[in-house]
Amino acid sequence: MAGELLKQMTGIDVLHVPYKSNPFAITDLIGGQIDFMFADTSTAVPQINGGKLRALGVSGTKRLASLPNVPTVDEAGVKGYDMSYWSAVYLPANAPQAVVKKLNEMFARAATSPGVLGLLASNSSTATHSTPEGLAAFQAEESLKWGRVIKAAGIQPE
């Protein structure tokens, strides 16, 4: 999806090569069988720091602390590009509101705790906290964005 978004925003023609995992793709990238890839930081950063890969851009909207000299794709010239990885915590739809409130408060505290921040930093990640309503709005925006990319690319479920 990251490559498809880049393709649509720039008009470049690239061929998607599916891999079962990033380590397999990185092996082929290092070996010259493929030209470029979007990779997760936990797989790519050690290879970048080891001099085996060259980072061209960070796909999110902010530079990574672990790669401070690598610009974002937006900074590198593809204005508006954002392919950020995110995850969220979910409960059943009928969860009691008191439970939702308590868990949301706990995650708010965790998002700023030194232990969590240290763990996330070691993986070039950050914590963002929101309300359940904020998450729902964010998810709706993401669904619209990626729905447009999928439709434009003609991607079909397998």
Total Cβ atoms within 10 A of residue 6: 20
Tell me if residue 45 falls in helix, strand or coil: helix
- Percent with pLDDT over 70 in the chain: 100
30-64 burial: b if 16+ Cβ within 10 Å, else e: eeeeeeebbbebeebbebbeeeebebebbbbeeeb
Domain-by-domain residue ranges, the chain?
1-84, 86-158
What is the homologous superfamily of the domain 1-84 according to CATH? Periplasmic binding protein-like II (3.40.190.10)
Tens-place pLDDT, residues 15-41: 999 999 889 999 999 999 999 999 988
pLDDT at residue 86 in the model? 86
pTM of the model: 0.81
